[in-house]
Amino acid sequence: MEVFKFLWALTVLSFYSLLLLNNGVEGTHKVFTHLQNVRAVEVKQLHRTGFHFQPKKHWINDPNGPLVYKGVYHLFYQYNPKGAVWGNIVWAHSVSTDMINWKKLEPAIYPSKPFDNFGCWSGSATILPDDKPIILYTGIVDQINTQVQNYAVPKNYSDPYLREWIKPDNNPVVVAGPEVNKTAFRDPTTAWYGKDGQWRMLVGSRRRDIGIAYLYKSKDFMKWTKVQHPIHSVEGTGMWECPDFYPVSLRGENGLDTSIIGKNIKHVLKVSLDATRFEYYTIGKYYPEKDIYVPDNKSMDNWNGLRYDYGNFYASKTFFDSGKQRRILWGWANESDTANEDVAKGWAGIQAIPRKVWLDTSGKQLLQWPIAELEILRGQKVELSNQKLNLGDHVEIKGITAAQADVEVSFSFSSLDKAEPFDPSWKNAQDLCSQKGSTVQGGVGPFGLLTLASEKLEEYTPVFFRVFKATDKHKVLMCSDASSSSLKGGLYKPSFAGFVDVDLADKKLSLRSLIDHSVVESFGAGGKTCITSRVYPTVAVWNNTHLYAFNNGTEAITIASLTAWSMKSPEMNH
Choose the catalytic residue: 62, 187, 342, 481. 62
Q: Measured in Å, how far apart are the chain's first and last C-alpha atoms?
A: 26
Q: For the beta carbon of residue 72, count every other beta carbon within 10 angstroms.
A: 15
Cα separations in angstroms, 32 against 43, 87, 88, 344, 352:
20, 8, 11, 14, 25
| Rounded distance between C-alpha atoms, residue 566 and residue 551, angstroms | 24
257 an active-site residue? no
Cα separations in angstroms, 100 against 50, 75, 94:
11, 11, 11
| Rounded distance between C-alpha atoms, residue 190 and residue 69, angstroms | 15
Residue 144 DSSP SS3: coil
Cα separations in angstroms, 349 against 106, 309, 316, 342:
19, 17, 14, 9
Residue 482 DSSP SS3: helix
Q: Are 29 and 19 in contact (CB under 8 A)?
A: no
DSSP state letter for 189: P
| Rounded distance between C-alpha atoms, residue 72 and residue 93, angstroms | 12
The maximal CA–CA distance of the chain, rounded, in angstroms, is: 69
| Rounded distance between C-alpha atoms, residue 510 and residue 559, angstroms | 10
| Rounded distance between C-alpha atoms, residue 373 and residue 351, angstroms | 16
Residue 543 DSSP SS3: helix
DSSP state letter for 432: H
For the chain, how big is the Rg over CA atoms in Å? 23
The amino acid sitting at 150 is: N
Q: Is the dihedral of CA 124, 349, 541, 41 positive or negative?
A: positive
Give the CA angle between residues 492, 276, 336 to the nearest 5°. 20
The amino acid sitting at 503 is: D
Cα separations in angstroms, 451 against 309, 361, 417, 422, 535:
18, 31, 29, 27, 11
Q: What is the 3-state secondary structure (H, E, C) of 323-362?
A: CCCEEEEEEEECCCCCHHHHHHHCEECEECCCEEEEECCC
Q: Are 152 and 165 in contact (CB under 8 A)?
A: yes
Q: Are 200 and 190 in contact (CB under 8 A)?
A: no
DSSP β-bridge partners for residue 455? none
Q: Are 279 and 272 in contact (CB under 8 A)?
A: yes
Q: Given the DSSP bridges, would you call strands 420-421 and 461-469 parallel, antiparallel or unpaired?
A: parallel
Q: Are 507 and 414 in contact (CB under 8 A)?
A: yes
Catalytic residues: 62
